[in-house]
Amino acid sequence: MRLPRIMLAAPSSGSGKTLITCGILQALVNRGFRVASFKCGPDYIDPMFHSRVIGVKSGNLDTFFTDKATTRYLFGRSAAEAEISVAEGVMGYYDGLGGISEEASSSDVAAALDMPVVLVVNCRGMSISVVPLIKGFLEYQTPSRIKGVILNQMPKSLYADMKAQIERWLPVKVLGYVPKVEDLVLESRHLGLVLPGEIESLKEKLNRLAAVLEESIDLDAFLALAYEAPDFTYETPELPKLSGGKKVRIGVAEDDAFCFTYRDNFQMLKDMGAELVPFSPIKDEALPEGIDGLILSGGYPELHAKALSENEDMRGAIHDAVKAGLPCIAECGGFLYLHRTLEGSDGVDYPMAGVIGAKAYRTDKLSRFGYIEMEAKQDQLILAEGEKARGHEFHYWESEDCGNAIHAKKPLRKRNWDCVHGTPTLYAGFPHLFFYSNPAMAWNFLQKCSNDSIQPEAPAAEGV
């Protein structure tokens, strides 16, 4: 099928690709296109920003989590609903696992999806040197799939000469430039901490950015590259389904404190027969009625620790339900919420749900950051002993008790550790899960949720 698609990548982080991707997405929406956006890698924040502020359907593409066939399926399923798909790369174009491999890099994703690439080059402090820089990226791999270039922080007065030099020496099309737009820069908090009251002002900022890019970038040529992508095929994998049309109701924490979710995880649960019921641990006083399972996703509980703690009815309801054996997946932020206490971003220790009898506290750096390979050390909610999956960790907070039900190790590195509180009814730990790395995780969870027998208790708590 014809699935127009294109990737915006860069030589390194900090090149401006996120800002330019957001501006181009907004410009395409303003032109009336049905757009799908994707983020390479495990990041939750950019897809959340794209969907909340720009209003486009957004997801992740990650060749560490999924093999080529599965990556093509996850892309094709969403891209088929759009007129054009735009992917944003991660880090530098060739940067992959462990900093020493191209596996799981943006170039790896582009290769898996036969996707044309536009390289965003930050030209601050550089003129003709941009030519050998681009030449290196074009020639490092063959084919590089780099078809176009956008020159960021390029003065208008210099652009015509640089475009002529690049296109004279290199087989690549220069699609335009982006001048300094300091008043339109998106701060990191905008991407991660979008409050409802900020969305309208951010939309106004993005529309002004889109207007700038309409003038400085040849968006028609950008679209033409996307439409030159070869025909696309994919196969739909077979997933198990609950028998007899039975629906399992899963309560899903969904508010400003719990907002890190992979769309593909939730879609897999639905495809297997789950009904997802959103609720807010900040605002709601009770869990949804009649739920068979619970998901507490990652997010920012530390920023909302006071409000979460003050909602004693919800803390008590979750404590009692999990202790009574309600199957529960609690990732990272959800894991923090299950602790006896959580140090908020204000430095105050707040009582939480009390399922994990330990304190969660702030550190000054990222802990165990990055991809991990996981192996179950014992039978537990999502994995049987010896089963493997892949995940990632990203957290500045730490726990006095991270658990030991799963053994984690860094790919291509020697570092390894134990983590996760895992029982027949509980997964609670820092690792974020991508179900398509091993669909047994989602299936085991739903099977337990659909089992009406008495369940074992979760680990002992030290009060709510």
CA distance linking residue 232 with residue 224, whole number of Å: 17
- 371 strand-pairing partners: 392
Neighbours of 304 (CB within 10 A): 22
Nearest CA to 45 among 338, 399, 333? 333
Q: Using DSSP, state whether 456 is helix, strand or coil.
A: coil
Structure tokens, 218: 């040849």
CA distance linking residue 107 with residue 116, whole number of Å: 10
- CA distances, 316 to each of 249, 281, 286, 287, 423 (Å): 20, 11, 9, 10, 20
Q: CB of 65 within 8 A of CB of 374?
A: no
Phi, psi of 258 (to 5 degrees): -130, 90
DSSP-assigned letter for residue 15: S
DSSP-assigned letter for residue 217: B
Q: Using DSSP, state whether 147 is helix, strand or coil.
A: strand
Catalytic one among 40, 332, 419, 449? 332
Helix axis angle for 440-449 and 263-272, nearest 10°, is 50
- 35 strand-pairing partners: 84
Cis amide linkage into residue 351, ω under 30° from 0: no
Residue 332 annotated in active site: yes
Catalytic (active-site) positions? 332
